[in-house]
Structure formats: structure tokens, C-alpha cells
Chain A
Amino acid sequence: MIDVVGAGMPVAWLIARAAGLVAFALLTLSVTPGLLMSTKLLTPRRQKALLGWHQTLMWTGLSMLVLHGGAILLDPVMRFGVTAVIVPGTAPWRPITVAAGVVAGYLMLVLAVSFRVRRRIGVRRWRLLHYASFAAFALALGHALHAGTDLKGTTGLVFAAIALAPVLWLTIARILMPHPVRPATTPRATRSAVSQERSDLPREPTPGGALTA
């Protein structure tokens, strides 16, 4: 029996690569407005607009990530099983860097879902959880550079620089920027104000008068 491979395009393989690249681009585009909001460089109105894009880009990136994994499953050459795509470290090819991509995907999912349960888990925990976005970004970049077949050599360095530059710059700006002065009020009001100041969200007055996110 002779296995004849068609001379046509490996469609699943092309879609897997393209979806991976687009997913990473969308993750970068989602992280950037998130950092821009936390630096408080923008007015609350623009922050609110950016918050919407921040979430939308994250969910769109996740959908591209699902397409990335699905296309890899359909590729006849890679021979990735469902387990290899879902469970980190079980991939037959470059298991560590593939695991980095899988973990980054799970972190993206958790971060995207966290917007829906923000009121339930509280702003403080939600913010702490959001630090995982740095890990997700780093893992995804490592996955793209090492496991990806399109980002070798100079192309990979240019790609990494384009993705890293705004994220790094905004992170440094966020660390170095002075925090706003907290008003001296009652302890309860102060706690609410502090939690609001640390929030990435525009202020919303509640019926009780306290500021919550």
C-alpha cells in the first residue's frame, strides 16, 4: 500500500500557524490597553472605552487560540492528539514550549472569565489575578519564538521587539508613575477609595455613596 500525499497546500497546518500568530497579536493588543488603563494616563471616559476593547480583544484572541489548537489536531503530519493539545507537557513535539503555550491559553481563559466574576471575587483578588497576564504574555511569547516555525532568527527578534516594546514601556511607566494622593477620610471610605484607585476601572458611584469598581 502506497500512501500518496497530495501536492496541494497543507491547509490545516497553514491555519494553525496563522491562528497562532493572530492569537498572539490579539493577546498583545489586549494587554496593551490593560496596562494603559492601569497607568492612569487616560481620562475615565477613555478608560471605559479601552476596558471594552481590552475584554473583546481577549475573547477574540481566545477564539483564535481554539482555532489554533483545532487546526493542529487536524494536521496529518504533526499527529497531535486531544490530550497533547489540552494537557501541558504531553505533546510529542517540543513538550516544554508547547506546554508553555497551553498554560498561557489557560491563563488567558481565566483572565477573560475573571471579568465576569469580578464582583463575586472582589476587586482586590481580581487585580491580583490580573498579574497572571504578565505570565501569560511571557509564556505565549516563548511558545511563539521556540515552538513556532515562522519566528526563527531575525524575524523572531523583530516580532518579539514589536510585541514587547509597548508592554515593557507601559509596565515601566506604571511602576515609575506616582500614585494618586489618597484623601484622608473615615477608615471605611478610605478602604473603598484605595480599592477604587487600584482598580483599572472607571468610578461608579453606588447608592450608598461609596466608590466601588
Chain B
Amino acid sequence: MRTVWATVLSVWLLFAVVAFLAWTRQQPTPARSPQSIPGAVIVKGKNGTTRLVVVSGAGTKAPHATTRTSPVPAG
């Protein structure tokens, strides 16, 4: 019974900490400036295919530590 209680409480504590971390990650919400209106960019691939990529506030959004981008291939 003790093990069950410890497990249940630990899992709830884990959920609470995850929720707190997720909440603090979103705060503070920056006010949307006129320049940060979402836009679309047409990207041409190597094999001739085209793709529409939605960009939210291109150039105005601060880079985040968890954002990972790959370099654009030359040509």
C-alpha cells in the first residue's frame, strides 16, 4: 500500500512539475506586433517540388533554445 501511495503521489508530482514547466515556458506572452503577422513562403526543393511553409512573424520572433533548424542547402 505504501508503494502504491508513493507511486501515485510521485506521478502526480511529475505531472504538476511538467505542467508548471510548460506554463512557465509560455510566459510571458509577447504582444503581437504588426510585423509578426503570419505569412507563407514558397520553398523549392532540389527535385523541383515546391512546398508552402507557414511562417509566423518571420524575422521578429526571438530564437528559442529548443528550436533547431537545419542549414538551407546551396543551389
Contact = CB atoms under 8 A, between A and B. Distances in A.
B46 to A, nearest CB: 7
Interface residues of B, number: 26
A64 B14 CA distance: 9
Interface of A is mostly: helix
B73 A9 contact: no
B6 A57 contact: yes
B14 A9 contact: no
Interface string A58-90: 011001100100000000110000000000000
**Which of B3, B17, B22, B69 is the most central at the interface, judged by chain A CB atoms within 10 Å of its CB?**
B17
A1 B66 contact: no
A22 B10 contact: yes
Interface residues of A, number: 30
Contacts of B56: 7
A98 interface: no
A13 B66 contact: yes
Contact of B25 (A9, A25, A26): A9
Given A9-B22, A60-B6, A25 B13 contact: yes
B23 to A, nearest CB: 10
Interface of A: 1-5, 7, 9-10, 13-15, 17-19, 21-22, 25-26, 52-53, 56-57, 59-60, 63-64, 67, 76-77, 150
17 contacts: A1-B70, A2-B43, A2-B70, A5-B67, A14-B18, A18-B14, A18-B17, A19-B14, A21-B17, A22-B17, A52-B2, A53-B6, A57-B6, A59-B3, A60-B6, A63-B10, A77-B68
